[in-house]
Chains A and B, each alone.
Chain A
Amino acid sequence: MSQRFLTTAERWRRYQRDLEAYRRRSLFRRSHSRFRRDLDIVPHIFLLASKARMAPLRGPEEAVRNALRGRAVWTLDTAARLVSGHGFLASRDLTGYLAASDLAWAEDKGLVNMPRSSGLSVDPLYQRPPMLIANLEEQIPYVELPSGDRVVPWTFLVRDLMGTLGWRPDLLTRLEATFPTGLAALTD
C-alpha cells in the first residue's frame, strides 16, 4: 500500500485551521467572566407586552426625537447612536421609555400614528415603517446630554439589551468600549 505523506504546505493549512478553531475556543473561555459579570444585572424585559407599545413615526426619526426631547428617555439602539455614534439595529426606530400621557401627547401632535402592542423583537420581522417603540415606565434613571436628549445610564442599557436581544457578549463588549466613555465625554 502506498503511503502519501502530508506536504508541509498541507500541514501548514491544517495548522492555520486548528489555530482559528482554537482562537474561537479561547475567546469563548474568556467570555465566561463577561457572562458572570453581565448576569449581575438582572435581565429586564423591555418589550414586556403589558408595558410596551409601538407606533409608526409620522415624520423623520430625528424630528420625532427632537420633539420628544425632555419627555423620552432613550435606550437601546437610539441611546447607542446618540452616545457612541453607532447603533446596532438595522431599522431606524426610536427606542425609549415614555409616560403613557407623553405617548398620547405624541399621537395628538401627529408625531406618531396610533400606538399598538409591541412586537416580539426590536428587529423588524416584516416590512414596516420606522417605529417609536416605547416602554411605558415612568421612573427611569437617565443622563441628560448637552442636546437635552435623555438616555439611560450604562448599566441600564446593558439590562435592556440583555432583556431584549439576549446575552450578546460581542455587542456588549463593543458597547462597553464606547458607551460609558462617550457618555462621560458628553456630560463632563
Chain B
Amino acid sequence: MSRPKRAEVLALLNQVGSSSLGNRLILAGSSGVYGISETIPALTEDVDVLIDADWVAKEEQQLIGEMKKLGFEHQPETSTFLRQDGLSLDLVGYSRQDSVDRIGGGENVPIMVFGDLSQVLAAPGTTIELPTQGKALSAAALAAVKLLTIRLEKGSKDKLQALLVIAEHAEDEDFLRKLRRLLMLFESDRIEDAVSDAQTACLAVSGDVVRADAESSGYADMSQAINHGLDILKRLFPPRGEQP
C-alpha cells in the first residue's frame, strides 16, 4: 500500500470524473483534505470516497465493473478497491433515505453507512466541484464531519485536521456560518463532545510542542494554527453558561 500524494489523488478524481461513475464519488476522509487545502497534511495511506450506499445496493456490478476499468480490483467482503501500484480506495457510505448507522451497499460490496454523514450531506452546499474535475466535501462539511468522527484509533488526527481547516478559513465568514449551521444539525451534547475532543487533541499537541526541540519549529507553527482553530471553534460554540 502506498501513501498517496495530493497530485495523485486529484488525478484519480479527474479520472473518476470522466468515467460513468462521474459525480457519484465524493472525495472525503483524510484524503478529502487534498480537495480543499494545499498545506494541511492528509496523513493517510488510502483514499476515502463517499458514495450513496442505496445506489450501490442496486448497481453493485456496475460499480465493480467501472472500478475495474479504472484499474481497481475489489477486495472481497470489504469496501476497499486496490490498484496494482498499491493505491487503495475505500468507499464510505451515506444514504438519502435515512440517517442511521448501518451496513449498506450490496452483497459483494458491503459498505458502512454513517448517519452523521447522511445528515451532513443532506444539507445544501456540502460538496464542491474540484477545479481538476470530480467532487469533494466542502471545507465546512469536511471540518464538521471530522469534528464529529468517532473512532478510537487515529482519533486525534481527525480533530487536528478539522482545527487546521478552521484556522485556514478563519477569515472566511461564509465558511464559519456554514460550519456552525452544519454542527447545529446535531444535538447540543454531540457538539459539546466534539468541541471537547478537539480541545483534548489540541492539548496533546501543545504538550508535544513543549517537549519538541528547535528542529521541530514547523511542528510549533502547526500547533499555533491548531490553537487558533480551537479558539474559533469555541467562539462559534461557547460552553453552556457562557452563551449570550
Q: How far is the CA of A25 from the CA of B152 in the complex (A)?
A: 11
Closest-by-CB residue of B relative to A3 is: B1
Interface flag for B211 (CB, 8 Å):
no
Q: How far is the CA of A17 from the CA of B150 in the complex (A)?
A: 10
Contact with A along B83-119 (1 / 0, CB 8 A): 0000010000000000001010100001110000000
Q: Is the CB of A12 within 8 A of B112?
A: yes
Interface flag for A22 (CB, 8 Å):
yes
Q: How far is the CA of A21 from the CA of B75 in the complex (A)?
A: 29
Q: Is the CB of B150 within 8 A of A11?
A: no
CB of B13 to closest CB in A, whole Å: 21
Q: How far is the CA of A84 from the CA of B101 in the complex (A)?
A: 38
Contact with B along A50-93 (1 / 0, CB 8 A): 00000000000000000000000000000000000000000000
Q: Is the CB of A17 within 8 A of B152?
A: yes
Interface flag for B172 (CB, 8 Å):
no
Q: Is the CB of A15 within 8 A of B78?
A: no
Closest-by-CB residue of A relative to B193 is: A26
Q: How far is the CA of A3 from the CA of B83 in the complex (A)?
A: 12
Q: Is the CB of B75 within 8 A of A5?
A: yes
- Contacts A3-B1, A26-B189; A15 near B110 (Cβ below 8 A): no
* Interfacial chain B residues near A127, Cβ < 8 Å: none
The contact of A29 among B75, B110, B150, B196, by CB within 8 Å, is B196
In the complex, the number of residue pairs spanning A and B with C-beta atoms less than 8 Å apart equals 48
* Interfacial chain B residues near A8, Cβ < 8 Å: 77-79, 103, 105, 110-112
Interface of A is mostly: helix
Interface of B is mostly: mixed
Q: Is the CB of A7 within 8 A of B77?
A: yes
The contact of A5 among B88, B151, B192, B196, by CB within 8 Å, is B88
Q: How far is the CA of A109 from the CA of B193 in the complex (A)?
A: 59
Q: How far is the CA of A30 from the CA of B188 in the complex (A)?
A: 11
CB of B74 to closest CB in A, whole Å: 10
Q: How far is the CA of A25 from the CA of B103 in the complex (A)?
A: 25
A-B contact pairs, 15 of them (CB 8 A): A3-B1, A3-B88, A5-B78, A5-B80, A8-B77, A8-B105, A9-B77, A11-B79, A11-B112, A12-B112, A14-B151, A19-B101, A26-B193, A29-B192, A29-B193
B contact set with A: CB distance below 8 Å:
1, 75, 77-80, 82, 88, 101, 103, 105, 110-112, 150-152, 189, 192-193, 196
A contact set with B: CB distance below 8 Å:
3, 5-9, 11-12, 14-15, 17-19, 21-22, 25-26, 29-30
